[in-house]
Amino acid sequence: MSGRSEHWDRVYRSKRETDVSWYQAKPELSLALIREYAPDKNSSVIDIGGGASPLAAELLRESYRDLAVLDISAATLEKAKDNLGGNASNIEWIVADVTEWKPERQWSVWHDRALFHFLTDDAAQDAYIRALNAATAPGAIAIISGFAPDGPEKCSGLSVVRYDAKSLSARLGERFDLLAEKREAHETPGGSVQKFYYAVLRKS
């Protein structure tokens, strides 16, 4: 097991998913952006670093039927599946480090809330962008969010790179056109506020 997966398995085994700082009872902004930019319920959606987020379950409830969640932590995906009970089999679960992952198909929506910001070196960021390109076709939508320039410098004890939608878009390269940007003040279960950016991009 890599050091990265050990870190995340340890986090998810030592805390309830409702106690982690990034917990959202309902990921309203992500859902709103997916509804707006991929309204067709046949759109395929993958949540990258989805953890135990209820996003995929909410999309399933809204009748999206081609859903996948990828995470480096097997422990968190087991929790997410347990939470879904019998509906878990309607979602594809992928345990992988996104920087080493070789996608075997493509999705029309790539969603990532608070994974990319953990990739602090160029090589890991380049590997993520290669996976993003391999997993999406022209016309696909990428919704990527993370800590904003006025957000925290660390998440889960790890350093992060803070972006706004424009700097994120520049890092992804010219194949991804920035369509929309949002900001969110996320209130953690501990009561502090973390500033997030959201970028919506279309692959040309």
Ligand X SMILES: C[S@@+](CC[C@H](N)C(=O)[O-])C[C@H]1O[C@@H](n2cnc3c(N)ncnc32)[C@H](O)[C@@H]1O
Interacting residue ranges for ligand X, rule: CB under 6 A: 4, 8, 22, 49-51, 53, 71-73, 76, 97-99, 113-115, 118, 155-156
**Complex with ligand X: residue 159 or 204, whichever CB lies closer:** 159
Q: Which residues contact 155 (CB under 8 A, 6 or more apart)?
A: 21, 22, 114, 117, 118, 147
The two three-digit tokens of residue 161, written as one number: 């790179």
Identity of the residue, 97 or 164, whose beta carbon is nearer to ligand X in the bound complex:
97
Write out the two tokens for 46. 């993958």
Q: How far is the CB of 22 from ligand X (least distance, A)?
A: 4
What CA–CA distance (Å, rounded) separates 18 from 42?
A: 30
Q: Give the residue from 32, 16, 195, 36 showing the smallest Cα distance to 117.
A: 195
Measured CA to CA, the distance from residue 202 to residue 178 in angstroms comes to: 7
Cβ closer to ligand X: 51 or 151?
A: 51
Closer residue to ligand X in complex, CB, 38/48: 48
Residue 74 CA to chain centroid, in angstroms? Answer: 16
Q: In whole angstroms, how close is the CB of 8 to ligand X at the nearest point?
A: 3
**Min CB(9)–ligand X separation in Å:** 8
CB of 99 to ligand X, least distance (A): 5
